[in-house]
Each structure stands twice: as structure tokens, then as C-alpha cells.
Structure 1
């Protein structure tokens, strides 16, 4: 009997299927069977409507991840680490779930005894009846694409950097990302997976612009003390992540960044102009420390400009929006 076409398609598991994950689903659903891990059962209907098969599970509860074992899927790992500690426990839980062998019960008693006696096992009859579902022998490591962050570099004082720059995480968020990258590199070295790492800067899209911030009049840094930031449109990011599933190199880092080189305040000014909003007031760093929340202020402590040659040369990506300015011109025409 011929295997149904749906079962013959490659499988892709998206872990952390939020806005960017759904954009990945839209790119994959016609050529792969897409699974989406969600912690919220109420999201299952929306995920099905988007073209994904939902799996309810929580990276903070390892027992809920049993269905991932033996799935045999390429993984796009978009889930952020937990909010405390320096170790990314969620990536650790995911790798453990993917590594767990799927087992089945043999229905032929004579075959069970033969395997048990041949192995010379002292485990007993119960253990002898359980064998791996996948036949022994070498297996091809499945790709895993990890959405990391450019925050792992720390402050580079506005320098132009490529992927060979040593990581220097300063805050706990970045340290957890470095932990995840290290775990994935070790799993790749063991042959468990074949991980590719995308280091991602600020993500924007029509639904991810700082319009509320501009309407509130939240200040930006004066140009003399402002920091360089980097950007990527959410659609381009989804295309990069999907491309990495087939063309990413093992343990290789790629900057998922566009060609923009602008300071944070300039970015806010451009968005404000495009949407006819007041430009944000400019303040000194000392004034910002008094007026802004610590989390918001932390993003103003690091400055760097990203090179993206690997993105273009190795993945051969052509960005839909090569710069923020390209997108804003399109957005202004659609208003």
C-alpha cells in the first residue's frame, strides 16, 4: 500500500511558534509537515488554521515533551530561555527530549527471547522485551536552527563586526543565550543534531514598530552618546531561518541582519517621520538613567554594526527589505 503523501513529506518542528514562527509556517506548510510546540492548548485551533499540527508541551516541564522523541523532524528553535540564571534550561530540556529513544514492545515472544539471550542481558525479561524503534546503526543528524541574539557580543563600541567576533555577554539574558549556543555546539559534536545558529538583532515589521513608544514621547539618546543598532524585518528573518534548515552549516553562526547601519535615535526618527508622529526628545545618558526603566535602558548600553556577508554568500539570501528605509517607504505608500 502506498504511503500517504502527507506522511512522506519532510517534518519540521517549530519550538516557540509566535509571530516569527507563524511566518515560518507560512513558508513551509506547502512543502513539509509542520509541527508547532505550544504551551497553550487554546492556541491549537489557530495553529491548525495556519497550517501546523500543534503539539502541547512546555520546555519548563520535561515530562510534557515525550511526544518529541522519535518525531524525526528538523527543528527551528525560537523559544527564549527562562528569565533567571545563566544556564538556558529550556534548550537543555529540548535536547534531552530529542535525544530520548523512542521504544516499542515486541509482539513476537520468540524474537523477544532471541534478542534477550543474544545480548546476554541481566536486566530481566521486562527490559529485554523493549528495543529501540529505530534499527541500530549510524543515523544522519537532523538539522536544528537556533534563533540566538546579537546581544551575546556585548558592547563593541560601534565597531563593525562579523561572526568571528568573540562573545562577551554582559547581562543575564545574553549569558543564557551563550549557554544555549554552547549546548547546541556540544550536541552537534556528539552527532545528536546538526545545529546552525542565527544571531538576530532587532526585529521589526508592520506590527512590530515602536509606535506606542513614540506616542508616549519616550526619549532617545542624544546623537553624541547614542548607540548603533541593527535590524531585520520579520519576513526576511523567517526566510533566513527556513533557508538555514537546508543550507546551514554545522555549528556555524550567521548574522540574520539587514544592511542598515543607523543609530537607535535615527531609527526612531525614521519611523516617526514615516507615520507622521513627533520625533522622540533627545536626552543625555545621565538623564536617560533617571527617566527610563532598567530593561529599556539596558538596550542603550551596547553599540555595534553587523556584517552579513555569510548571509549573502553562503545562504544566498536576497533580502526583501535590505534596510529599514526600504520598508518604511513601502509602508508610507500603503497608508
Structure 2
């Protein structure tokens, strides 16, 4: 089976590394990134704002599965803008769009599942909802199984509170009542593989762990695993944070993950941050 991934980011690269695919290729945004990934045996192309590389179109046409995580911009979804005809005409029977639980907006800490209507709080998340619908519409037009995966905060080796503590960049920001769900990159790969085995056109899945938790608790637990003092607590102040970080704290919700378990038969390898951080802390 061949995979083409628009956006060879952290999650896509990890899925490819599971060895599920006979051939894998995808896109990045710079030639420097392309050269680095080509050394690992992945067929890599640069997707820019100009005309789509003919090599991309050929690889897409020869793919059995297509994954996309490229964010929308002011003009819409860049992948559909450049490669929609090639995707529609490809032999791919499975298409996955990696989105975000950010499309649900703020729910005041309440529980939500896939039946909750999106309530995007910003222009960025409104574009994301529009992109989801554009991909689902492509599926309806072509008969291809397009699935949307709404991801919680992604973490894993090299990208966790453990890594931040080791690098000296961890911060313990406290906003009373704030919780976040997370999802380990290995569990993302497991969900994608399960969906690939059981395509459902138009499906929407929340990818989240079992325990939404305050971010300061996660940092404190990581510090305990490493046997170091956690960084001091810092009261939440949006004026002192990057706009993107502050926007995350503006949405407070607890996300249910029952559908990936019930429909896809997924058992999370890391059901809470505790298991995930313990595995990362023990890897080096």
C-alpha cells in the first residue's frame, strides 16, 4: 500500500515509521526540510504557493491512501487548490484530514463528543472548519472515504513536558479550572491505521486521551519522573504569552474519545499523560 502525506509533520512521519506502507511520500514547505527527510528514504516534494510540482500529482495518482495536515490559509485549503483534480482522479480509497479539537471552541470545561457542533472562536479555526467541510465534500463528490480526525494536544518523544524540562524551557502556567486533553503520537498512528482498515466516508473522530488535566499538573508529574524540581507556577496572563498560546487557554473543554474505541476498536497505549510521560522519560 502506498501513502502520500500532504505535510510530513510529526504525526505523519511517525505513522510512516510504523512500516505500514510499502511506499510513502509527501510534502514539506522548504528545500532544507526536504533534503533532511530524503536521507530517511521518504519521497519528498516541496509544496509552495506556485503551481503544483508534477511529481506531486504523479505520486498522488499512484497512492492508495492520502493524509493531509496542511493548514488552510486566507484563500482556503492549499492542497485542494493545487491538487484537487489529482486527488479526485487518484486510486486512493482512503483520505484522512488532520484537524483540531480547537474547532469546538470554549465549552466552559464541559464534556463534548463528535455530536457537538463546531463553534470556532477565531478566524484560524473558522478556516479549519471550512477546510474540513471542503474535504468531506470532495468525498461526497468522488465516493472516496474521507475521514476527519480532530486532534487534541499532540505529544510524544522529543515533544513533551519531559523534553521541555530537560531543555530548560518548561513553564508551569496556571489558569484556575483550565484543562486540556492530549494525544500521544503513537495513539494517533494507531487510530489512523485502524481507520485505514475500516474506512467510513464522512466520519469525524476525536483523538483525545482519557483524562483531560490541568497543564501545570502535567509539568509537575514530568518533573517528578525526572527527579527534578518543577518550575515555579506562573499565573496565566495573556499579555505575556504568544498569541497562539494564549488562544489555547481561551478554550476550556473535556473531550470524549468513545467513538475511536467503539467503532475502530482502538485501545489507547497511553490513556493518560502519566503513561505517556513515563515511557518518554525512560527512553533515554
Name the residue aligned to 1:60.
Answer: 49
Q: What's the C-alpha RMSD, in Å, of the aligned pairs?
A: 2.7
2:86 is matched with which residue: 91, 98, 104? 98
Do structure 1's residue 311 and structure 2's residue 264 form an aligned pair?
A: no
Structure 2, unpaired ranges of 5+:
none
Q: Count matched residues.
A: 280
1:220 alignment partner in structure 2: 173
SS in 2 for 1:208: coil
Tell me the equivalent position of 2:277: 328
- Residue 206 of structure 1 is aligned with which of 129, 142, 157? 157
Q: How big is the shift at 1:36?
A: 2.0
Which aligned segments of 4 or more residues in structure 1 are displaced greater than 6 angstroms?
Answer: none
Structure with the larger RCO, 1 or 2 (CA within 8 Å, 6+ apart)? 2
Instruction: Give yes or no for contact 1:77–1:147 (8 Å, CA) kept in 2.
Output: yes
- Runs of at least 5 residues in structure 1 that lack an aligned partner in the other structure: 1-9, 103-139
Q: Give the equivalent residue in structure 2 for 1:119.
A: none
The 1-side partners of 2:225 and 2:51 are apart by 46
Q: Deviations over 1:236-281 (max 9, x none)?
A: 1122223322323111111111212212222222223223444343
Partner Cα distance (1:271, 1:262) in 2: 13
Mark the CA change 1:14 to 1:28 in structure 2 (over 3 Å): closer, same or farther. Answer: farther
1:234 shift after superposition: 1.1
Change (3 A) 1:49 1:314: farther
Change in Cα spacing, 1:217 to 1:147, as seen in structure 2 (3 Å) is closer
What residue is the counterpart of 1:137 in the other structure?
none
**In the TM superposition, what whole-angstrom CA distance separates every residue of 1:187-227 from its partner, at most 9, and x where no partner exists?**
111126321011001011120014547935645124xx241
1:144: which partner in 2? 95
In structure 1, what is the Cα distance between the partners aligned to 2:177 and 2:47? Answer: 39
- How far off is 1:141 after superposition? 6.3
TM-score normalized with structure 2 length: 0.86
Q: Relative to 1, partners in 2 of residues 1:98 and 1:298: Cα closer, same or farther, differing over 3 Å?
A: same
The one of 65, 76, 82 equivalent to 1:74 is 65
Q: CA deviation at 1:321?
A: 1.4
- Indicate the structure (1 or 2) with the bigger Cα radius of gyration: 1
Which residue number corresponds to residue 130 of structure 1?
Answer: none
Name which of 180, 199, 203 aligns with 2:131. 180
